[in-house]
Copies of this chain bind each other. A is one copy, B any other.
Amino acid sequence: GDIEAGKAKSAICAACHGSEGVATSPIYPNLNGQNEGYLSSALKAYKAGQRKGGLSSIMVSQAVALSDTDIEDLAAYFSSLK
């Protein structure tokens, strides 16, 4: 994915995942440095409704608004953060 495009797309994520991918609460995952392949598979699972329970509903509502390109870009961006 494209890191710059991902960064532009990531503004809304910062509310829970922090501006540098370090979550604002321990109930949300840190994303900084997480594996790109895993991030995109997790986002696609939320988008496809394959994840339920807990706080998944927040993520489903976010993921359904993302194209596959957005997902690849966001995955590239967050995994690029150390």
Residues of A within 8 A of B (CB): 23, 25-30, 33-38, 41-42, 44-45, 48, 50-56
Contact = CB atoms under 8 A, between A and B. Distances in A.
A45 B50 CA distance: 11
| Copy count, this protein chain | 2
A27 B23 contact: no
A9 B51 CA distance: 25
A38 B51 contact: no
A52 B42 CA distance: 10
A34 B26 CA distance: 9
A33 B30 contact: yes
Contacts of A45: 51-54, 56
A53 B53 contact: no
